[in-house]
Structures are given as C-alpha cells and as structure tokens.
Amino acid sequence: MFERTSGVLMHITSLPSPHGIGSLGKAAYDFVDFLQAAGQRYWQVLPLGHTGFGDSPYQCFSAAAGNYLMIDLDMLEQDGLLTKEEIQQAEFNHSPDKVEYELLAASRPPLLRKAFARVDDEMQLEITAFRRRNRSWIEDYTLFMALKEEKFEGRALWDWTDEEVRSRVPAAMKAAREELKEEMDFRVFLQYLFFKQWDALHEYANAHGVQIIGDIPIYVSPDSADVWQHPTLFKVGSDFKPKKVAGVPPDYYSETGQLWGNPVYDWKIHEEENYKWWIWRIKSNLALFDVIRIDHFRGLESYWEVSAKAENAIKGRWCKGPGMKLFHALEAELGKLPIVAEDLGIITDKVRELLEESGFPGMKVLIFGFDVWNDNEHLPHNYKPNMIVYTSTHDSQSICEQIMDICNDAEKEFAYQYLRTSHQEAMGWSAIKTVWASPANITMTTMQDILSLGADARMNVPSTLGGNWAWRVRKEGINEKVAKMLCEITKTYKRYKPYQPPVKHSRKPVEKSTAAQQEKIKEQPETES
C-alpha cells in the first residue's frame, strides 16, 4: 500500500499564521506549496480536535469535533462574516514563537459570535445540511459543550450538579436542548466553519500531490462528549467518573510509569456491538485524512490498567485488548485500511505478532538509537521496508537536543560517527540523509530537525503539564532554499514522486452555494456521514 516516500510532521497550530496561532488559512496553503517544492508526499498533523485541559490534542472534548481555534479569521473576512477592524480589535501582542492559549480562549469566542450573527439564509442551508450529515455526534457534542461552559461553569462531567442531565434522562435532555438551543447552534456553526476550511485545505493538498497523515489517540478524554454519549463503552461509574484508567508501567524513562487518566474501554461491550463505535471513529477520520496513525497501538493487544484512585502507574495490570478481532470488523465494513501503527514502548512478542498479522507499518525513531553498547533497532540499518520512521517526533527531543544536551560523551561520539557529522548546524540534515537512505518505505522528519533547532523548540514533554503544544515555526524558516535542499535529498535517495498538476484548483475558501445547489441540499436524504 505504501510506496517509498517521505514527509514532514508539523501541527496546524505550529504554522506561522497571523492572529496568534497556526490556522487553516494562507500559511497552511503556503506550507503545502513548500512540501510540494520539497518533493514530499506526506504532511503529518496531530489530532485536530477541540482541546481541553492542558491544550493537548490527545485530550479532546470529542473524538469527532474540530478545534475552533484553527479557524482562519482572514477567510471569515473574505466570506463577509468579519471585518478587518473587528479582527484587529480582538488582537493581542502575540508571540511568533508560541501559542498563548489562555489569551486565545478569552479573545476568540466573542469574535466568532460576531461572525455567527451574520449567517445569512444561504449559509444557514449549508449549516443545516452539515448538521444533518454529522448528527451521529454533533448534537451530543454541542449540547455537552453548552452545558459544560454555560451551565456548569466548566466543571468536569462527573461534577455536573444536575444529576438528571448528567445521566441523560430524556425529559431533562429535551429541556436542556430547548434552553441552550442558541448555544448549540453557535457551536454547530463553529464546526461548520472548521470542516469547511479543513476540507478545502485537504483538497488543495491532495491536488498538489500531498497526502495528510492524521493521528488517532487510542483513548478519549474522561471529560468528553464521547463518554457522556456512550458510557457503557468505557469503564466508568454511574457518575461517569472513571473506575479504571490507562497508562504505562515503570520503564527506563520513568520510575513510576505514566498515568494518563483516560478511561479504558470495556472491550467486551465493544465486541458485543461488533465494534460499531470504532467503525464510526475510523470512518470519520478517513473522511479527514488520507492515512491514519494509531497512537499507542500496543494497547490494542494488551493495555496497562490502573485504578483511578492510584497516584501513579506502578500498581496496575496488563489486560487483553481486542487484537485482530477489531481490525477484522473494521476491514469488513471499510475495506483495506491506510493505517500506520505507533508501536513504541514495551513491545512483546504478542504485540509484534499483532503488528505483523495486521500488515500495518510499525514505527522507529532515530534519536532512540544512539546506543554505544547495542545494535539498536532504532538505527536505520535495522529498518525494514514496511515501516514509518522518524528523525524525531512531536513527543521527543529534536536531533540537536538529543545529541548536544542528553547523550553522554560516548553516545555523542557514536552519533557523530553514525551521522557522519560533527557540526550542530548540519546535524538535522545529516539525520535526514541517514534516515532517507534507509530501506523503510516511509520516512518522516520534523520542522525542528529540518531547521536543526534545539530544546526551545520542543512541542511536548510527555506526562508534564504547562508549556506544551505551543511551539510555532517562524515564517522565514519555511523558504525556497530549505525546500530545495530537502527535495535534493529526497531525489538522491529515490523517494521523490513527480508532481502532476491538477486541472483546476483554488486557494480561496469554498464559495457560497448557488441557488441550484441550495435546492439540491434541501433534497438530500438524512444520512449520516
């Protein structure tokens, strides 16, 4: 399924867009142009969901909703929903190097409400059609957010003070929908804008030879519309508070393990329902992305389950996951799946067997390979064709940080010898060449490694709060010289695929529907997407 190709990992929020955060506007289209000029097949983004506590895209309020902070304001101006003056008035002295989420959370919603007030009849038809297509999740998500933010002062689901609403008593749900109708409509509007802009960007990328790799976190957030809508699918109590949570046991990197806090699945119930929810989830993501990376793949073979009352992940147990039964159900419904697996961490023979049987490419990361004493599996000479391999990732240190700040003297010397470099400035490029030369079908790097950046450019430090998910690349870093250098390396190691220009394409937002299109929308049957 996967050819010998390459790509770049960078989140949408890291783009050098104006207005304080990377968005789905011009900077995103410019980055697609950069990838095309650099001869890259893939752009890997992180999850695009509506983030909650800690701003992590792996902890979202919904497995389906998009992050409204990525909505491009300049496109809204082009659509006549905002004025330039209104956008300027909502500005703050934002940093070009990091996202300031608290300031955005305060300034962005009032501005988007002004746009909502300008929805005309034509757009309302489009919103109604969008809402109908996404009714499997959007009604519960928008009600969940309206209740959480407008009625319960941001409290977690299990702390909601109205037990009947929390427990989804039909009469209470009906009353809540009537009371919060306008708030629900506003949040539907935000999702309409997000997916309209994302779909246009995705189409543009595909037309320019770039495919999107999107991440699926294996677990959902405990405080989410998913848990509220489908509590029986998770090990939660009657109050929706998790009883058992996910994590990983102690290892080389942590003496106490990692306690993630996500509710684990009740896989018995999933199997009884023929994995219906997972089929919906994968189907939804296939509409967003060309390739899906499943985060923490090993948890589908067996997962580390810890009591929700525990203070760390030391005392837990390994529990059996669904294994191939899940993938058989998915393939029966959706056909052959373009999935890659994040299989890092504690990997057993059973996990390796599951990966081999699934046929999905596994994952290796160069920075984990600088081991003087062992022939490490993360070194490129040990890679196999059916792999997706990285110089570094969003969860790790960059090449430069690893070698200069973390490796001991012996490891540093080994890294210099293996990469055939002794200069920090060239380290990122040396790493890219080394990985690109490997037999792996898919090779990936980060903008941090392309630019040979260090610790100050790290995206995330796992199991920590504060300061994560904020890094942004400077506009000047995405330039023709860099694209040309990456393209030359890609051609040298036979990963380049010639670009075929599309017959017709546009950089502009999707145009408003014509009268004929509006009539067609009216006639559409009420089917789920």
Q: Is 395 part of the annotated catalytic residue set? A: yes
Positive or negative torsion for Cα 421, 424, 428, 429: negative
Q: Is 226 part of the annotated catalytic residue set? A: no
Cα–Cα distance for residue pair 436/399, rounded to 1 Å: 15
Which one is catalytic: 33, 162, 295, 413? 295
Of the candidates 437, 464, 194, the one whose C-alpha atom is nearest the C-alpha of residue 202 is 194
Cα–Cα distance for residue pair 254/209, rounded to 1 Å: 41
What is 36-67 written as a DSSP string? HHTT--EEEE---B-B-GGG-TTSBS-SS-B-
What is 186-211 written as a DSSP string? HHHHHHHHHHHHHHHHHHHHHHTT-E
Q: Is 223 part of the annotated catalytic residue set? A: no
Q: What is the CA radius of gyration of the chain?
A: 23
CA 387 to chain centre: 20
**CB-CB contact of 370 with 415 (8 Å):** yes
Residue listed under structure tokens 């199997």:
271
Which one is catalytic: 126, 223, 342, 401? 342
Q: Which residues lie closer than 8 Å to 215 by C-beta, 6 or more apart? A: 44, 45, 46, 47, 57, 58, 292, 293, 295
Question: Cβ of 460: how many Cβ atoms within 10 Å?
Answer: 22
What is 138-190 written as a DSSP string? HHHHHHHHHIIIIISTT--GGG-S-HHHHTT-HHHHHHHHHHTHHHHHHHHHH
Which one is catalytic: 30, 179, 371, 395? 395
3-state secondary structure of 93: coil
Cα–Cα distance for residue pair 227/62, rounded to 1 Å: 9
- Catalytic positions are 295, 342, 395
